[in-house]
Structure 1
Amino acid sequence: MEDRIGHSVRSAPGRESRVDAAPSPGDGVLLDRSFGHDDITVLRHEVADRLVSLGLGSDRRHGYLLAVNEVITNVVLHAGGAGRLRLRRENRSVWCVVTDSGPGIPSDLLNDPQAPEAYEVGGRGLWLAHQLCDEVTTATGPIGTSIGLRMSLDVVPDSR
């Protein structure tokens, strides 16, 4: 079997990608924990609590939380059932990095995620993450995958 390591960075359509050089004081880890099938609901609530404290507007917060949920669910269903989630504030963004030790993501699903047909079951997780997040990074290979989801905190919060 040929070793493959894929890496991609793509900003969401219509959004600029900006990487800040150095973290500002007060930035840091908000949540860092391992998870499995039985932890998904609790983990989703823990992430939601951290996002509220950052002042992220309701629509963006719920969209980001949906993207995180899709990625952790993919780990449980397709990558051996266990992974690690690290949520951190970095400059004016929140990053969620989810890692697993699964077999890697096939390149046809990685390069340009497309929405599946309406009648297809599943297959929307990565596509949704790309639609809902300001930036998605992926490093994948035969010993595991790491997916980073970034949401800017610079957007004016909505009224909800």
Structure 2
Amino acid sequence: MDETRGRRRGLDAARPVAPREPVARAATSDDLYDQVFGPDDITVIRHGVHGRLVDAGFTGDRLQAFVLAINEIITNVVLHAGGRGRIVVSRSGQSIWCTITDSGPGIPARFQHPPEVPDTFDVSGRGIWLAHRLCDEVSMATGPIGTTIGLRMACSAAHITSDLVNGASSGV
């Protein structure tokens, strides 16, 4: 059994699995968080992203929903895509974007579109489903050399705070 991909069957079992690093991307000034992660980093990433979003003024239930969606996708990378990935969280206009990239084998077709509600006793299939329910937009590019998932959460004035007097908000 290959520890990085779980049980392999058929022709895949004969192919050696070479560890690959996530694709590099140049950082920009709008990046709030940029980190390569592995199996031991899920909690660190979740707390790091949460802290950076709070520092950027993102608050409330939408903050919590976005962090949960991110946590689900990075957990999928660790469990199903070779164990290593890269996360970049950035602000663009009125939105916060999160891009998560891995070098895994690709996402099965049944999970590539907004999936149906998982059955009660299904042991997998909730991560992408939750991301679709929690985020304003989910995009996906996947294939045999890896996957990139984009998550977007719109920021309204009610969800972004500023240093203005009396708790006034700015529409960042």
**TM-score w.r.t. structure 1 length?**
0.79
Q: Against the structure 1 CA distance between its residues 131 and 155, is the aligned structure 2 distance closer, same or farther, given a 3 Å change threshold?
A: farther
Aligned with residue 150 of structure 1, among 145, 149, 152: 152
In structure 2, what is the equivalent of residue 76 of structure 1?
78
Q: Relative CO higher for 1 or 2, CA cutoff 8 Å, sep ≥ 6?
A: 1
Please report how far the alpha carbon of residue 122 of structure 1 lies from its aligned counterpart in structure 2 after TM superposition: 2.2
1:41 partner SS:
helix
Q: SS state of the match for residue 88, structure 2?
A: strand
Shift of 1:69: 0.1
Asked if residue 39 in structure 1 is aligned to residue 53 in structure 2, the reply is no
Partner in structure 2 of residue 85 of structure 1: 87
Q: Which runs of 5+ in 2 are unaligned?
A: 1-10, 12-27, 161-172
> 1:155 deviation in Å?
5.2
Equivalent of residue 124 in structure 1, options 119, 123, 126:
126
Deviation readout 1:25-84 (Å, 9 max, x if unpaired): x96011111000101111110000011123223210110000000000000000000000
State which structure, 1 or 2, has the greater radius of gyration over its C-alpha atoms: 2
Name the % identity: 54
Give the unaligned 5+ runs of structure 1. Answer: 2-25
- Across the aligned residues of Structure 1 and Structure 2, the Cα RMSD in angstroms comes to 2.0
Q: Deviations over 1:100-156 (max 9, x none)?
A: 000001112112312211122221000000000010010001100000000011251
Q: Equivalent residue of 2:118, what SS? A: coil
Instruction: Indicate which of 106, 109, 126 corresponds to 1:107.
Output: 109
Residue 167 of structure 2: aligned partner: none
8 Å Cα contact 1:94/1:153 also seen in 2: yes
Distance 2:56 2:117 in 1: 30
Give the secondary structure class of the aligned counterpart of 1:87: strand
CA contact (8 A) 2:37 2:85 kept: yes
Between the aligned partners of 1:148 and 1:155, the Cα distance in structure 2 is 23
When the two structures are aligned, how many residues end up with a matched partner? 135
